[in-house]
């Protein structure tokens, strides 16, 4: 009997750890085992969560654990400070062994989603604690634009995207209950108090588009500007919120995913790159490979996958010219660059 149970457990583990040939061959796969690193300065700085490029193609820009937005200036100069929140100071916000960033981020800020409005050069920042912020061309101290919606404070500002035609800004508040420091509780409790919000820079008007969403995280405006694709992290889904047309104001399922999605970015072909923090059935042992990201078509179907080590848990993947893919992570001390072969 004991032998039979042991054999059954072995079979179950093999099913979980070894993907079937059909699944592996279903879509093209990018191997991100070996990547180029754009390393953050030495020390305890980490977590380049989102990756943005300006109208001239300069960057990447990324928000890091001490509350700053930094800019990559090439191998010689590396990263330099581009912007910072209203309460930032190097003395108060630089992490030490005795004072980790988790102890200071509620004061210093934690920039998550980043998007440029290319025509104006303004960079919009979804800061988990400060709310929606903006910094003008050239960087510097950011201005806080939105801290509450309909009298209810933003508690976990997360993803952001910009309509390049109108300049309108869409962003998520992942929970009205938990802050970023408690993000695991949002998933664990099935918290469904997340909100989708629009900010109009021409009038300063803030509009609540949808409430009661389960862990809304990253989002991206569709190529035809008719809808938003939003990651719902806990349920491992992508949602579609209609901005225009007969379904305007409604939300629906766009895709079921095999892992926990974070940021969503356009793939410049009408689809999206979706970063996966980890797979739903992932185990800490076995083959050291897991899904890092998926490319999803405009119809919600998986077109391509990216795989890499389990130690890498990405938060965003951005595709640029020349087959280069830039990958951010809230945990790592570098932005990774993967080149298609």
Predicted confidence at residue 309, as pLDDT, reads 95
Average pLDDT for 229-257: 98
Predicted confidence at residue 6, as pLDDT, reads 58
Q: What percent of the chain has pLDDT over 70?
A: 93
**Residue pLDDT, tens place only, 137-161:** 999 999 999 999 999 999 999 999 9
Q: Report the 3 state secondary structure along 66-93.
A: CCEEEEECCCCCCEEEEEECCCCCHHHH
> What is the rounded average pLDDT for all residues in the chain?
92
| Cα distance between residue 48 and residue 63, in whole Å | 5
Average pLDDT for 251-266: 98
204 versus 322: the higher-pLDDT residue is 204
Average pLDDT for 124-133: 98
Q: Which of 17-26, 121-130, 184-193, 316-325 comes out lowest in average pLDDT?
A: 17-26
Q: Rounded to two decimals, what is the model's pTM?
A: 0.92
| Cα distance between residue 288 and residue 293, in whole Å | 16
Predicted confidence at residue 14, as pLDDT, reads 46
B/e letters for 200-212, b = 16+ CB within 10 Å, e = fewer, are ebeeeebeebbbe
Q: What percent of the chain has pLDDT over 90?
A: 85
Predicted confidence at residue 299, as pLDDT, reads 97
Residue 60, preceding bond cis, omega within 30 degrees? yes
| Cα distance between residue 197 and residue 152, in whole Å | 12
102 versus 55: the higher-pLDDT residue is 55
- Flag whether pLDDT at 18 surpasses 50: no
Distances, alpha carbon 156 to alpha carbons 193, 218, 230, in Å: 11, 12, 15
Average pLDDT for 61-76: 97
Query: Would you say 263 and 159 are in contact if contact means Cβ atoms under 8 Å apart?
Result: yes
73 versus 16: the higher-pLDDT residue is 73
Average pLDDT for 245-254: 98
Query: Would you say 146 and 132 are in contact if contact means Cβ atoms under 8 Å apart?
Result: yes
Predicted confidence at residue 228, as pLDDT, reads 98
Q: Which helix (H) or strand (E) is 294 found in, with range?
A: strand 290-296
Predicted confidence at residue 241, as pLDDT, reads 98
DSSP 29-42: EEE-SS-EEEEPPS
Instruction: Quickly state the pLDDT bin for 340 (edges 50, 70, 90).
Output: confident
- Flag whether pLDDT at 12 surpasses 50: no
Instruction: Quickly state the pLDDT bin for 25 (edges 50, 70, 90).
Output: very low
Predicted confidence at residue 106, as pLDDT, reads 94
* 225 SS3 class: coil
- Cβ within 8 Å of residue 103, ≥6 positions away: none
DSSP 160-191: EEE-TTT--EEEEE--SS--GGGHHHHHHTT-
Average pLDDT for 182-195: 93
The DSSP code for 46 is -
Distances, alpha carbon 18 to alpha carbons 32, 119, 278, 288, 309, in Å: 18, 48, 16, 11, 15
Predicted confidence at residue 4, as pLDDT, reads 54
Average pLDDT for 13-34: 63
- Flag whether pLDDT at 45 surpasses 90: yes
Q: Look up residue 332 and give its two tokens.
A: 């790592």
Top-tier CATH class for 30-339: mainly beta
Q: Which has the closest alpha carbon to 116: 51, 70, 54?
A: 54
């Amino acid at each position: 009997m004991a032998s039979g149970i042991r054999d059954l457990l072995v079979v179950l583990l093999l099913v979980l750890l070894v993907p079937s040939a059909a699944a592996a061959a279903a879509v093209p796969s990018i191997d991100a085992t070996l990547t180029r690193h754009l390393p953050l300065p030495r020390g305890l700085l980490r977590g380049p969560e989102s990756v943005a490029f300006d109208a001239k193609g300069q960057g990447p820009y990324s928000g890091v654990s001490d509350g700053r937005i930094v800019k990559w200036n090439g191998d010689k100069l590396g990263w330099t400070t581009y912007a910072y929140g209203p309460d930032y100071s190097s003395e108060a916000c630089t992490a030490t062994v005795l004072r980790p960033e988790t102890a200071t981020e509620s004061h210093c800020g934690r920039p998550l989603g980043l998007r440029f409005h290319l025509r104006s050069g303004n960079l919009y920042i979804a800061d988990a604690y400060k709310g929606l912020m903006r910094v003008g061309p050239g960087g510097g101290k950011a201005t806080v634009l939105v801290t509450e919606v309909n009298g209810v404070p933003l508690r976990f500002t997360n993803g952001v995207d910009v309509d390049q035609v109108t300049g309108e800004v869409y962003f998520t508040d992942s929970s009205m209950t938990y802050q970023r420091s408690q993000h695991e509780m949002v998933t664990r409790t099935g918290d469904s108090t997340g909100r989708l919000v629009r900010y109009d820079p021409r009038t300063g008007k803030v509009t609540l588009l949808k409430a009661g969403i389960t862990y809304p995280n990253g989002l991206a405006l569709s190529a035809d500007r008719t809808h938003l694709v939003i990651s719902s992290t806990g349920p491992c889904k992508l949602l579609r919120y209609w901005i225009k047309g007969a379904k305007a104001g409604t939300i629906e399922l766009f895709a079921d995913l095999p892992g926990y999605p974070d940021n969503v970015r356009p793939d410049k072909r009408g689809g999206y790159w979706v970063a996966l923090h980890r797979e739903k059935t992932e185990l800490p042992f076995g083959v050291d490979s897991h899904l890092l990201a998926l490319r999803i078509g405009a119809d919600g179907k998986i077109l391509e996958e990216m795989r890499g080590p389990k130690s890498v848990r990405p938060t965003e993947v951005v595709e640029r010219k020349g087959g280069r893919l830039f990958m951010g992570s809230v945990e790592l001390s570098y932005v990774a660059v993967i080149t298609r072969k």
